[in-house]
Amino acid sequence: MRGRSLVALVLVGFVLVATGVIWRRSFGNARAREQQRLEQQRAALEAERAKVEGDIRDASSRTSLAKVAEQRLNMHIPSDSLVIYLKRPVKKRAPSDPH
């Protein structure tokens, strides 16, 4: 009976090790699929971020802002005859300290 018990114990040990290996492998595959899904989601979010940044740049361009100012605020770019250029007065320097 000693030989049969040893063989049975070895077989039970082999089944336990094989079960552990199969479980670990399936767990690793599930993690790999999850990681791949997250990487795809990250790539999609980065593409969306780049698109939003481009939209912001387009919306804040001078031509776009000029159109919005004309339509919503009833503003316009004045003609040259309406523009008055003012000169700044020259600042006088304070006398230097003799120390």
Distance CA 38, CA 31 (A): 10
Contacts of 12-19 with C-beta under 8 Å, sequence gap 24+, read none
**Using the 8-state DSSP alphabet, how is residue 60 labeled?**
T
| Cβ–Cβ < 8 Å for 58, 64 | yes
Question: Hunting for tokens 């300290």 — which residue is that?
Answer: 97
Q: Is the pTM of this model over 0.75?
A: no
User: pLDDT digits over 26-75, tens only?
Assistant: 999 999 999 999 999 999 999 999 999 999 999 888 888 888 888 888 88
